Each structure stands twice: as structure tokens, then as C-alpha cells.
Amino acid sequence: MQDVPLTTNWIFERGMRFFPTRAVVTRTATGLERATFADVGAQTRRIAAALDALGVSPDGRVATFAWNTARHLALYFAIPGSGRVMHTGNIRYFPEQLVYTFNHAEDEAVFVDRSLLPLFAKYLPQLRTLKHIVVMDDGAPAEIPDDPRVLDYTELVGAQQELDLTDRVDDEHRAAAICYTSGTTGNPKGVLYSHRSTWLHSNASLTSSAFSMNDRDRVLPVVPMFHANAWGLPYAAFLGGAALIMPGPDLSPAALLALMESEQVTVAAGVPTIWMGMVPMLAAHDLSHLRVVVCGGSAVPRSLSEAWRTTIGLPITQAWGMTEMSPLGTVCYLRDEVADADDETQASIRATQGIAPPGVDLRIVDPQTREELPWDDEHTGELEARGPWLARQYYRTDAPGEQFSPDGWLRTGDVAAISPLGYLRLVDRTKDLVKSGGEWISSVELENELMAHPLVAEAAVIALPHPKWGERPLACVVVRDGEQVSKEELLEFLRGRLSSWQVPDDVVFIDEVPKTSVGKFSKKTLRDRFADYTLPTG
């Protein structure tokens, strides 16, 4: 068989050849900007020429620091397409994480949205490897730093001839992009995606084991383009010919809903907090074009998916993954065996993380013996995964490290059961489990039950030390706007749904659950905040 390299240029050329008229719509601070794949393609070829003209090394790292926009999309193709490695900078990182990742990747250039300059510019003195700072003017009046490295995007790119990228990358194992993932301790870790892994992962998104993305779709990546490459959606859209709707800086529920309605979005993807915020406003919008709402990054509470289903007739599609997995690991769709099951059964299935697509292998292992456990939906163990779009080790580390098993599987840090039909059910993160008197209590399950209470907006459960049981759960609860509920009422509600020893020892009411840089509940922040909190004993 022919050995044709699987590259992002292939994805790009396919989009250009088959779907040049497909739309790329960007909502900026000033309104909607409409472009086509052909427009983005022309920009891509000019950016590639600009990188050559600037003398960026043939395999140099080039960063982005930008919202989800058509320009960012062109960078997705131009940087890897010209042989360089795209580092999508996380605009929500703490200063030290931001500085660390840029220096660790040794970025030679960065393309930054003007509106993000107030955030970015103050770190410039510490970003020692950067030779070029290309400012993309998005209409924001932000001050341009007085730094000799600064260039204007339109001047730089506009002056170039279009460069043919077709055969520029001939080795599919070359690096295409790097994303950093922040663990709970230590510095963020770099995951280097290859051209091949990007191609295979994108192709999977087009299949019925994932999102069946196709040329009739209009896809809204709410997930930022720095979060595991917007879950691969930009590449999948070019490969499959789906239009892209880019939300820009305004990610408020009202703005997103208006965009979904007016642009007739069919596929939208984001973390649970995004879809939770929309629930009260759903009924007021015509979302009849929507066919898949992808939700991942954290567990999707059953009550959330059911709220969508009962309001607009479309439940949420849960997906599970990790930056280390490009990120797609599983997608929850209803297999034939359960396609006609009753609403209750189907809702329970949708609360699982779903089925691994071809390309991802999963196993659960006993934490002590490391022996593989059966797929009976009963045994829970540490989840491990392998496949051609999963990392083998982190960037610039000598050894694979403890997050990889001796036989090369990725140790996900998640604890899970798998059903005989292959549905993955995450019980918790290893570090978030509450270990009470020798038994594990799943914080995820407690959160799910709490969020099923009609007056609870958000809930996060953490483990606190306990003199008798080792650890016991504390529930941190956000009550819906303008509502009130007592601790006793909530505990009584849980008593009806859980075994008595699983019910949290205490409830604290907070204004908001703190979030991580990618919009997940930050249990670490909660743990720090309640480190000195004493649970009632007795």
C-alpha cells in the first residue's frame, strides 16, 4: 500500500479543494465577520510565507494567544503546515504558568489578539525566547507595547505572496502542535501532537462513533482554541467541510445563545458550566437546527442533560478526554441495544462518559495489583488508555514518567467502571475520591445528586480530614439566584438518594465554585480555602 503522510496540509488542501465556499463566521467586539474557507486558506498561505520571511526556524515553536476567530484558524494551518509547531497559549493561565509554558516551549514568535495585550504585554520582559510579537488588531483600543519585537499582523501578512503548502511536510511523525495541561501540582506539562495523530483524530470526529461531523454542519467551538486544540474541531471541520462559527471574546450564555440561533448552529461544544448557564434561557430561543451539544472536560450531571432534553428536546452528548489524548477518549451515544429503552434508562446512560471510538483502547486496573478488571459496570479501577492519538510521554522529559504504565498505556488518573456494552463510567479522579473508613465515596456522584436538587445551581464536593474515618465529604453549594435552601433540606434530599455513609458531613454555601483555566471546578482552590474547616463530629 502507498505510504502517504497524514498531515495537517492534507486536511487543509481537502478543505480548500472540496469546500472553498464554506463559511467561517467570527463574532468580534464590533459585529460579525464573514469569511470562507478560501479566504482563510489565502491567509494561511500568506502567514506561512511570513514565517519564512521572518526567519523562524524550520521546526520552531510559534505561539498563539488569541480568542476563537478566523485568524486563529488560519494559524492552525499555517504554523504546522509550514513545518513549525503551534503552541496555543492559554489566556487564562496564572502569570507564572504563562511565563513557564512560553519559555519551556521556546516560542520564537507569538500571534496575539490586540484585545489580549493588556494581559500579555506585562510578561514580555520575561519571555526570553520570543523574537517576534505579531499583533492581530481586533478593534480593541488596547495600547501596543513599545517593544522592538512588535509587528502588525495586517502589514506583515498582507505583504506576502501565497505559499504552496501541499508537500511542505513529508514526515507524518513530525510535531504539529503543543498544548500544555496543568496538573494539580508542579508546572504545566507539554503534550506534543504529531501531524499523523492530528489527522487520525480529526478523521474520527467525522465518524458515527464521535460526532458524525459533515458538510451540512455549522460548528460552534465554545471550547477555547487553547484547550486541547478546541477538541480538534477546527481540523475536523476542514476535513469534513463543516462551516465554523467562532464566538470571539463574548462567552456569556446570552451572547452564545443568540449566535447559535442566528447562525443556525448544528454542533456546539464546551464544558458543563457553559451549558449550565444557558438552561434558564433555553426556552426563549429557536435552537431547532442543533443536533449535537458536545460536553466534556468534567462530568455532565444527569440533571443538566435532562434539563436540555425536556426544554428543547435535545439532551447533551457527553464526551470524555484529556489533553494527553488530543483529546477525544469516549463519546456517549445510544447503542442499538438501548436505542428503544425508556427515558430513565437512557438518561442514566447519558450520564456515563460513553464509548471509545476506533483508535482508543481502554482498560481498568486494580490500583494495588495492577491487574486488569472485568467490564461488568461493578468493578472500579484506575483507567488506562492507549492509541495512535495518545501521548507516549510529555514534551522535554527524559523518562516517560509515572503517568505511563510500563507497557506504554497512559494512566489517566481517573477511576472508572466499564459496562459490558463498553460504556465508561467515571467514578472520580484518583485524587478527588473521598476515602472514608476504607470505602471510596465518589465526589462526582455526590455532586450529581446535589445538582439534581432544583434550587442548587452548582455543587462541588471535597474530602476533609476526619479523626475517625480518615476523610469525610464536605459539600460546597451554590444556590440558584434569588433562591434559598437550608443545609438540613439538602442533606435530607441526599438521604433519600444515597446510602447514609455517603451523605456529606456538612454543607457550606458559597457564591461561586472557583474554576480552572479551562472552566472546570477547581477543587484545589476549594481544598485550600477549606483547609482549616472542621467538620462536625458525632
Task: Give the interface with ligand ADP as residue ranges (CB under 6 A).
Answer: 181-182, 228, 296-300, 318-323, 327, 353, 412-414, 426, 429, 516, 518, 520
Contacts of 103 (CB under 8 A, 6+ apart): 126, 127, 128, 129
Amino acid at 280: P
Active-site hit among 44, 64, 101, 181:
181
Q: E strands within 128-188? A: 132-136, 150-152, 175-181
Query: Which of residues 218 and 520 has its CB atom nearest to ligand ADP in the complex?
Result: 520
Cα distance between residue 125 and residue 346, in whole Å: 54
Q: Pairing mode, if any, of strands 439-441 and 434-436?
A: antiparallel
DSSP lists the bridge partners of residue 473 as 463
Query: Which of residues 44 and 393 has its CB atom nearest to ligand ADP in the complex?
Result: 393
Query: Which of residues 149 and 429 has its CB atom nearest to ligand ADP in the complex?
Result: 429
Dihedral of the CA atoms 189, 223, 9, 151 (nearest 10)?
-80
Nearest CA-CA partner of 386 in 374, 396, 400 = 400
Report yes or no: 297 and 228 within 8 Å, Cβ to Cβ: no
DSSP lists the bridge partners of residue 190 as 180
Amino acid at 242: A
From the CB of 293, what's the least distance to ligand ADP, in Å? Answer: 13
Amino acid at 359: G
Cα distance between residue 363 and residue 365, in whole Å: 7
469 is catalytic: no
Nearest CA-CA partner of 173 in 196, 151, 150 = 196
Query: Which of residues 26 and 298 has its CB atom nearest to ligand ADP in the complex?
Result: 298
Nearest residue to ligand ADP by CB is: 323
Query: Which of residues 309 and 487 has its CB atom nearest to ligand ADP in the complex?
Result: 309
Query: Which of residues 138 and 447 has its CB atom nearest to ligand ADP in the complex?
Result: 447
Query: Angle, to 10 degrees, between the axis of helix 8-18 and the axis of helix 195-205?
Result: 50
Active-site hit among 106, 311, 440, 525:
440
323 is catalytic: no
Cell readout for 44 is 494561511
From the CB of 354, what's the least distance to ligand ADP, in Å? Answer: 8
Active-site hit among 143, 154, 435, 483:
435
From the CB of 326, what's the least distance to ligand ADP, in Å? Answer: 10
From the CB of 476, what's the least distance to ligand ADP, in Å? Answer: 18
From the CB of 331, what's the least distance to ligand ADP, in Å? Answer: 10
HEC states along 490-519?
HHHHHHCCCCHHHCCCEEEECCCCCECCCC
DSSP lists the bridge partners of residue 321 as 328
Query: Which of residues 237 and 299 has its CB atom nearest to ligand ADP in the complex?
Result: 299
Contacts of 73 (CB under 8 A, 6+ apart): 24, 40, 234, 244, 246
Active-site hit among 324, 382, 449, 471:
324
Report yes or no: 256 and 275 within 8 Å, Cβ to Cβ: no
440 is catalytic: yes
From the CB of 445, what's the least distance to ligand ADP, in Å? Answer: 12
Rounded to 5 degrees, what are φ and ψ at 276? -65, -45
Helices (H) and strands (E) in the chain, counts: 16, 24
> What secondary structure letter does DSSP report for 282?
G
From the CB of 330, what's the least distance to ligand ADP, in Å? Answer: 8
Report yes or no: 480 and 456 within 8 Å, Cβ to Cβ: yes
Query: Which of residues 9 and 352 has its CB atom nearest to ligand ADP in the complex?
Result: 352
Total residue length of the chain: 538
> Which whole-number Å values give the CA distances from 134 to 70, 124, 505, in the listed order?
16, 13, 53
324 is catalytic: yes
From the CB of 33, what's the least distance to ligand ADP, in Å? Answer: 29
Cα distance between residue 224 and residue 128, in whole Å: 26
C-alpha 261: how far from its chain's center?
23
Query: Which of residues 9 and 101 has its CB atom nearest to ligand ADP in the complex?
Result: 101
From the CB of 490, what's the least distance to ligand ADP, in Å? Answer: 23
The alpha helices in 374-521, defined as continuous H runs, are 443-451, 487-495
Report yes or no: 101 and 180 within 8 Å, Cβ to Cβ: yes
Nearest CA-CA partner of 203 in 11, 332, 354 = 11
Query: Which of residues 43 and 317 has its CB atom nearest to ligand ADP in the complex?
Result: 317
Catalytic residue numbers?
A: 181, 324, 435, 440
